[in-house]
Structure 1
Amino acid sequence: MENRFLAQAYKANHSIWNYVLGIILVVIGALVFSLPYNIVVANKIAEGTADASRVEDLNYLYTLMDSNLSMFYMMLPFVGGMITLYLVIKKIHKQSWINLTTSRTKIDFKRVFFSFFFWGSMIVLLNGISYFLSPESIVWNFDAKKFAVLLLLSIILIPIQTSFEEYVFRGYLMQALGVSTRTKWMPLVVTSVIFGLLHYANPEVKELGYGIMVFYIGTGFLLGVMTLMDEGMELSLGFHAANNLISALLVTTDWTAFQTAAIFKDTSSPSLIMELVAIAILYPVLLFVFSKKYKWKSWKEKLI
């Protein structure tokens, strides 16, 4: 059985060298848009207000400027990457954006929104349970002016960031590996592992240990399975946007990659409990709900 989503690449210029060139250009596009942040940090080092030996520490960088400003600068590379990816798809691959997104004749935004609100509700519920179990560790962090700016930036920039990651991993690379290897399991495994490993530099790894990599790679597999089984990226787009957007607005900490002017602040010691609950319980529940709602069949054929 052919996976219709992977087969969308055959409708485009799918030479492996086109994909190699495309990835190089996307990386360059992201790097160009990272220059403003690097220039700001370099100026602070020159002024003596920043320690050059610590700028690789993301937690330290958050102390150098307002959290909203940091977020704006950190989101810019994803904007650059998304713009470049769009041009690569149109100019090099001659592929429609719809074919990169889904096997359906048009993007199913109902799927995007269902995934967004379903997973978003689970995040809120999980944080509610966390507060119930340890209310003293969740403190009020609301600052109306800062939160208003955060809300505006988040609504605009976070969906770009999450969509860029999805289009690169669950879209571009998955289709590229699908047509080049003529397999289904290879795109799933490779994109999931690379997606997880790219989070290696996150502060969470230092705080929680290498066990967190199981969560990152596992999340990659979840998103990959959703894409292959549903033969489109809509569900993964909604999930990823909800995960980052609601997390950024609802609860922040002093040790994660995303430190924001959120409504609440978690002051508890770093723990893997939330991630383990997600991997062991919530992700299987999510796949079960989606499989029933969208009548997924032929798991083995679509994934392997």
Structure 2
Amino acid sequence: MRIKATKGKQGIGTEVKDATYVEAARWGKYRGWRYVLGLVVILFSWLVIGSLASVLVAFAFSGQADYSVLDPFGKFLFVMAGFPFFLAGVLIAVTLIHRRHPRTLITAREKISWRRVGHGFVAWFVPFSLIGGLGQYFFYPDTFSFNSDLTTFVRFVPIALVLTAIQTTTEELFFRGYIVQGASIVWTNRIFLAILPAVIFTLPHLGNPEAIAGGWLTVFFSYFLVPGLLWTIISLIDGTTELAIGVHFANNIGGILVINAAGTVVTTPALFTFSEYHATYGALSVLVAIPVFLAIAYKVFKHDGVSEPISQSHRKGCRR
């Protein structure tokens, strides 16, 4: 597997050719203890402060810290409440501890290519809708239903778009960005860089209801293989996490707003709902969706040309 790179500058008078977002880890202060401290800050923000925020949401909606008694809207807010704090932890770690721009978690270029993010969204949303939606309708028509309460749906859309964008982008910045960059300081082996974040990404999702119900099929295909391994590999190939950010948002917003299945971690007033989660179909659909996604992402869409190089404000990194 070849990592596709971009050109950039590491510092004044120091031109770096073939720089990827992985190599941008060395543009700031990257000594090992800084990554340990950064992980502490991020995990504290996510697991402690974020969990407290979720508890406050539960109390606000039901008067008790019980997720099960919340309505679908309350459950959605409960799940999403911690991600702004998770994001804040990532930004604090990168800017204050590593002393580099948060953009370096995404790209080694001067600007983020939002066009490439859009490519990722379309490339995954198409097979998601066709295979995950129409496919399930043809195989399990009796479990398929349309949400007739369009008023609730319309009110839910802007909240879902904003919070889901925060959630998916934060996970990409952390798992595909910070974790991969930190791992590259230890070992630059590409197989290692692909597998480690896939494993770490899978672990927090093991407690999801669909993972418990689907067993190893769901864990391997829906978490480890996609999005864990596949989205990390395409980030390494592209040299940026732009494509993965778009893909992740398409995957989650599709399951939240378009086609939602009962028994998953978040039950929402989506346009269409399946009353039963089908683990086997989910695993098989992933295998079919992967080549369709790759064909759209790399054959239909052309990769952006190299944008402006990194500005001189990004100093040459040091291990301090």
| TM-score, normalising length: structure 1 | 0.85
Q: CA deviation at 1:26?
A: 1.0
Q: Displacement, 1:106?
A: 1.4
User: Structure 1 pair 82/36, CA: closer, same or farther in 2 (3 Å)?
Assistant: closer
Once the two structures are superposed, the pairs formed by residues 12-161 of structure 1 within 5 Å of their partners are: 12-30=28-46, 31-39=48-56, 41=58, 61=67, 63-126=68-131, 127-161=133-167
Shift in alpha-carbon separation, 1:95–1:72, aligned structure 2, 3 A: same
Distance (whole Å) between structure 2 residues aligned to residue 291 and residue 125 of structure 1: 19
RMSD: 2.4
Deviating more after overlay: 138-147 vs 24-33:
138-147
Report SS of the residue matched to 2:69: coil
Q: Is the 8 A contact 1:197 1:217 kept in 2?
A: no
Counterpart CA distance in 2 for 1:118 and 1:35 is 36
Cα deviation, residue 258, structure 1: 1.7
C-alpha distance in 2 between matches for 1:16 and 1:99: 18
Corresponding position: 1:165 with 2:171: yes
Contact 2:61 2:70 in 1 (8 A): no
The residue number in structure 2 matching 1:242 is: 250
Determine the structure 1 residue equivalent to 2:224.
217
How far residue 21 of structure 1 moved from its aligned partner, in angstroms, is: 0.8
Letter in 1 for 2:283: E
Structure 1 residue 39: Cα displacement:
4.4
Q: Which has the higher contact order (CA 8 A, sep 6+)?
A: 2
Q: 1:270 aligns with which of 278, 294, 304?
A: 278
2:269 paired with 1:261: yes
The one-letter code of the counterpart of 1:156 is V
Task: Give the structure 2 partner of residue 302 of structure 1.
Answer: none
Cα deviation for residue 41 of structure 1 reads 4.9
Q: Are the structure 2 counterparts of residues 129 and 44 from structure 1 closer, same or farther at C-alpha, using a change threshold of 3 Å? A: closer
What's the CA shift for 1:76?
1.5
2:34–2:97: 8 Å Cα contact kept in structure 1?
A: yes
Distance 2:297 2:259 in 1: 27
Identity of aligned residues (%): 26
| Residue of structure 1 equivalent to 2:180 | 174
Residue aligning to 1:202: 208
Using the alignment, how far apart are the partners of 1:129 and 1:39 within structure 2? Answer: 39
Range with greater deviation from structure 2 (82-91 or 33-42): 33-42
Deviation at 1:295, TM superposition (A): 6.7
**3-state DSSP class of the match of 2:76?**
helix
What is the CA distance between 1:12 and its match in structure 2?
Answer: 1.1
Q: Is the 8 A contact 1:142 1:261 kept in 2?
A: no
Instruction: Give the alignment's TM-score, normalised by structure 2.
Output: 0.81
Deviation string for 1:26-62 (max 9, x for gaps)? 11112213213324657999x7x78xxxx6xxxxx3x
The alpha-carbon deviation at position 123 of structure 1 amounts to: 1.4
**1:6 paired residue number:** 22
Gaps of 5+ in 2: 6-19, 305-320
Matched residue count:
283
Q: Residue 226 of structure 1: which of 204, 223, 234 is its match? A: 234
Higher helix proportion (structure 1 or 2)? 1
Kindly indicate whether the alpha-carbon contact (under 8 Å) linking 1:138 and 1:265 is maintained by their aligned counterparts in 2: yes
How far the C-alpha of 1:269 sits from its partner, in A, is 5.5
State whether residues 106 and 173 of structure 2, in contact with CA within 8 Å, keep that contact through their aligned partners in structure 1: yes
Rounded to whole Å, the distance in 1 between the matches of 2:58 and 2:129 is 35
Does the Cα contact within 8 Å between 2:108 and 2:240 map onto a contact in 1? yes
Contact 2:217/2:283 (8 A) holds in 1? no
- The more displaced of 252-261 and 31-40 is 31-40
Q: Secondary structure at the match of 2:100?
A: coil
Q: Is this contact kept in 1: 2:34–2:98, CA < 8 A?
A: yes
Shift in Å, 1:229: 0.2
Distance 2:21 2:61 in 1: 47
Partner of 1:286: 293
- Cα deviation for residue 237 of structure 1 reads 0.1
